[in-house]
Amino acid sequence: MALIEARSLAKSFRIPSDRRETVREHLFNAFRPRTFERLDVLRSVTFDVQQGETLGIMGRNGSGKSTLLKILCGIYRADRGSLRVGAPITPILELGLGWNPELDGIDNILLLGTAMGLRLREAKDAVDEILAFAGLDRFANVPLKHYSSGMASRLAYSVAFKTVREVLVLDEIFAVGDAEFRERCEARYRELSAKGHTIVLVSHDPRVISTFCSRALLLDEGRVAFEGRGTDVVGEYSRRALTASAGPARA
Amino acid sequence: MAGGTLMGASLTTASARVDVAGMLWTLARTDFKTRYHGTVGGFIWALLKPALMFVVLMSVFSFIFASSPNYRLNLIVGLFLWDFFAEATKTGLTSLHAKGYLLAKTRFPSWILVVASASNALLTLAVFLATFLAYLVLAGRAPGAAAGALALFYLLMFFAITVGISLAGSVLFLRYRDLNQVWDVAIQAGFFVAPIIYPLEILPERFHFWLYLWPPTPVIQFCRAVLVDGVLPTARANLLLAGMTAVILAVGVLVFRGQVADATEKL
């Protein structure tokens, strides 16, 4: 039995014709009709991931990759379809975004670490290792508001790599930080993969998909447009990208 | 494994373990640090707010209510309990929004954020109660075991009421972004509905029932009864308070559970 079974997953967002986000707006416009535009982000996505497998997901911007990952991680809920995940997931998504800017690196590590599943004692013991992995030892007591976005991302990925559960879900993991940090991430990734962790990985980078993924999906307009070996999916992705860029020129 | 069906989608996921106590402690500690810059001096400001209010109100109203022998003690108990309620529900209301950066990154029981948001108000109340109890002991008015146990029970009920309101408010705030302003108005009016600056007895008895429907009223009145007047409320009164607390908490949990699945989409 597959560790992750997704069947006909669908997700849409309702975009209202006018924004009503306050009690006042709801009251004053109670009798004014408003329309909703439906944005179908995922139309029907079906796939399996086996225990210990690394599945890559590729697709253009807006193809539904990030939404799919958020559904997998339980951050968004699907509108239709079914999803069975047989093991706890560690999500590594949008980690560069949002911290408590007033707190220093250590407090943010403890906050994110415990939210991601570490016991407080484990998080405290791991602080030095996490800071070293991120290359931020010297900035441990500096408030996050003084970090650059790259530094904040490095710190977040370092926390996430330390909190790994059975399944890892990664979004553009190797696009963060400098070459040295990316190398450390790749080494850690290989180590986790060798230990038998199941990994779902989103990337636009053909090298990442063909190097790290035994199997991959190509998402297009909320559906699985192509499925196969990592190298084959990269080929299809590149072919479609070339076709798309050539299209307007011909016209 | 946890499973469920939501809007036609069925979801079965393995439960992720979270160190609830550790996360609550970390959230409380970092909230304290952010709010008071981690200093005792900063925290004193939190105590000064109700204390200064007490001095001002006492200066004026202790003349008006000079016939009430325990007016000053009742006033300070009422003010600190009210301050806890107002602060805890205000921060509870915006708690999910304020910690959206955690919710968008990973999955954990989000009620932890709501409960932890009351920590600063709880700390202020705890410091006041310790000081107040010390005063009662020194003044030879230490409450007995039954009175002490009942006071603890009332505080527990008050905390549960606060959590219930905060749970509902935190998810509704994501839908109605001015709900905190609406709540501010309610809190301002509620300050006068609860018998904080006036003894309840000055109002005709037929109004008492309605005032007791405002949750802070029974808690404040019962706490005063056991801590200041040395009177134990009846079992029926205690049961009614417990019932009211259960209803508020249940409604809060139901609203929260109904709305929280979409919370991250509204952040």
Answer yes or no: is A188 within a domain.
yes
**The length of chain B, given as a count of residues:** 267
d(CA B144, CA B126): 19
Residues of A in contact with B13 (CB under 8 A): 74, 83-85, 89
d(CA A109, CA A105): 6
d(CA A91, CA A159): 11
d(CA B136, CA B83): 21
Chain-wide mean pLDDT for chain A?
A: 89
Same domain membership, residue A156 and residue A68? no
Is residue A86 a contact partner of residue A73, using CB atoms and an 8 Å limit?
Answer: no
- Whether A97 sits inside 8 A of B101 (CB atoms) is yes
- Whether B22 sits inside 8 A of A22 (CB atoms) is no
Same domain membership, residue A159 and residue A170? no
d(CA A132, CA B166): 39
Nearest CA in chain A to B265: A76
pLDDT of residue B11: 62
Q: And the tokens for A142?
A: 């500096």
Q: In this complex, which of B26, B103, B108 lies closest to A110 when CB atoms are compared?
A: B26
Q: How are strands ordered across the β-sheet holding A215-220?
A: A89-92, A167-171, A198-202, A54-59, A215-220, A223-229, A36-49, A4-16, A80-85, B9-13, B2-6
The burial class, CB within 10 Å (0-12 / 13-18 / 19+), for A57 is buried
Q: In this complex, which of A70, A77, A100 lies closest to B11 when CB atoms are compared?
A: A77
Number of CB pairs, chain A paired with chain B, less than 8 A apart: 144
Residues of B in contact with A93 (CB under 8 A): 104-105
Query: Cβ neighbours of residue A230 under 8 Å, at least 6 residues apart?
Result: A56, A209, A210, A211, A212, A213, A214, A215, A216
d(CA B58, CA B70): 12
- Which residues partner with A57 through β-bridges? A202, A217
| pLDDT at B101 exceeding the cut of 50 | yes
Q: How far is A121 from chain B (nearest CA, A)?
A: 8
Cite the beta strand spans of chain A per DSSP E: 4-16, 36-49, 54-59, 80-85, 89-92, 167-171, 198-202, 215-220, 223-229
Same domain membership, residue A158 and residue A171? no
pLDDT, tens digit, for every residue of A158-188? Answer: 998 898 888 989 887 666 668 888 888 888 8
- Percent above pLDDT 70 for chain A: 94
Residues of A in contact with B15 (CB under 8 A): 88
Nearest CA in chain B to A77: B261
Is residue B32 a contact partner of residue A93, using CB atoms and an 8 Å limit?
Answer: no
Q: In this complex, which of B9, B19, B104 lies closest to A78 when CB atoms are compared?
A: B9
Q: Which of the two residues, B152 and B6, has the higher pLDDT score?
A: B152
CA torsion through residues A49, B105, A165, B256, sign:
negative
pLDDT of residue B4: 46
Answer yes or no: is A8 within a domain.
yes
Q: How far is B220 from chain A (nearest CA, A)?
A: 30
Is residue A22 a contact partner of residue A94, using CB atoms and an 8 Å limit?
Answer: no
Residues of B in contact with A21 (CB under 8 A): 175-177
| pLDDT at B13 exceeding the cut of 70 | no
Is residue B102 a contact partner of residue B192, using CB atoms and an 8 Å limit?
Answer: no
- Percent above pLDDT 90 for chain B: 72
pLDDT of residue A145: 92
Of A163, A185, A217, which residue is a domain's last? Answer: A163
Q: How far is B30 from chain A (nearest CA, A)?
A: 7
A137: confidence class by pLDDT, cuts 50, 70, 90: very high
pLDDT of residue A29: 86
Segments forming the whole domain that contains residue A239: 4-88+165-250
B258 touches chain A (CB under 8 A): no
Same domain membership, residue A178 and residue A70? yes
pLDDT, tens digit, for every residue of B106-154? Answer: 888 999 999 999 998 999 999 999 999 999 999 999 999 999 999 999 9
pLDDT of residue A84: 93
Same domain membership, residue A110 and residue A15? no
Same domain membership, residue A136 and residue A68? no
Q: In this complex, which of A80, A85, A103 lies closest to B30 when CB atoms are compared?
A: A103
Residues of A in contact with B102 (CB under 8 A): 98, 111-112, 115
Q: And the tokens for A182?
A: 């990316």
Whose tokens are 């999916």? That residue is: A233
Answer yes or no: is A129 within a domain.
yes
pLDDT, tens digit, for every residue of A49-104? Answer: 999 999 999 999 889 998 999 999 888 889 999 999 999 888 887 665 568 899 99
Same domain membership, residue A181 and residue A64? yes
pLDDT of residue B82: 97
Same domain membership, residue A169 and residue A84? yes
H or E element, residue B13: strand B9-13
Residue type present at position A16: P
B10 touches chain A (CB under 8 A): yes
- Whether B100 sits inside 8 A of A94 (CB atoms) is no
Q: How far is B6 from chain A (nearest CA, A)?
A: 7
pLDDT of residue B75: 94
B30 touches chain A (CB under 8 A): yes
Same domain membership, residue A215 and residue A128? no
| pLDDT at B58 exceeding the cut of 90 | no
Residue type present at position A14: R
Q: And the tokens for A120?
A: 């407080």
Residues of A in contact with B25 (CB under 8 A): 120
Answer yes or no: is A95 within a domain.
no
pLDDT of residue B63: 80
Q: How many CB atoms lie within 10 A of CB B84?
A: 27
Integer-rounded Cα radius of gyration of chain B = 20
pLDDT, tens digit, for every residue of B167-225? Answer: 999 999 999 999 999 999 999 999 999 999 999 999 999 999 999 999 999 999 999 99
Same domain membership, residue A27 and residue A128? no
Domain total in chain A: 2
Residues of B in contact with A102 (CB under 8 A): 33-34
Q: What are the structural domain ranges in chain B?
A: 16-266
B23 touches chain A (CB under 8 A): yes
Of A133, A163, A193, which residue is a domain's last? Answer: A163
Mean pLDDT within B81-89: 97
Q: What is the DSSP string of A34-89?
A: --EEEEEEEEEEEEEE-TT-EEEEEE-TTSSHHHHHHHHTTSS--SEEEEEE-S-E
Same domain membership, residue A245 and residue A124? no
d(CA A22, CA B182): 10
- Whether A78 sits inside 8 A of B176 (CB atoms) is no
Neighbour-count burial for A201-234, b at 16+ CB within 10 Å, e otherwise: bbbebbebbbebbebbbbbbebbbbbeeebeebb
A250: confidence class by pLDDT, cuts 50, 70, 90: very low
pLDDT, tens digit, for every residue of A198-247? Answer: 999 998 889 989 988 989 999 999 999 999 999 999 999 999 988 887 76
Ramachandran class of B171: left when φ > 0, alpha when ψ lies in -120 to 50, beta otherwise: alpha
pLDDT, tens digit, for every residue of A184-199? Answer: 888 888 899 899 999 9
Query: For B39-46, which contacts have Cβ atoms below 8 Å and span 24 or more sequence positions?
Result: B43/B123, B43/B124, B46/B120, B46/B123, B46/B124
pLDDT of residue B53: 86
pLDDT, tens digit, for every residue of A89-134? Answer: 888 876 655 688 999 999 999 999 999 889 999 999 999 999 999 9
Mean pLDDT within B159-163: 98
A251: confidence class by pLDDT, cuts 50, 70, 90: very low
Same domain membership, residue A210 and residue A182? yes
d(CA B113, CA B20): 10
pLDDT of residue A165: 82
- Whether A107 sits inside 8 A of B33 (CB atoms) is yes
Q: At what angle do helices B205-212 and B216-224 cross, to 10 degrees?
A: 110
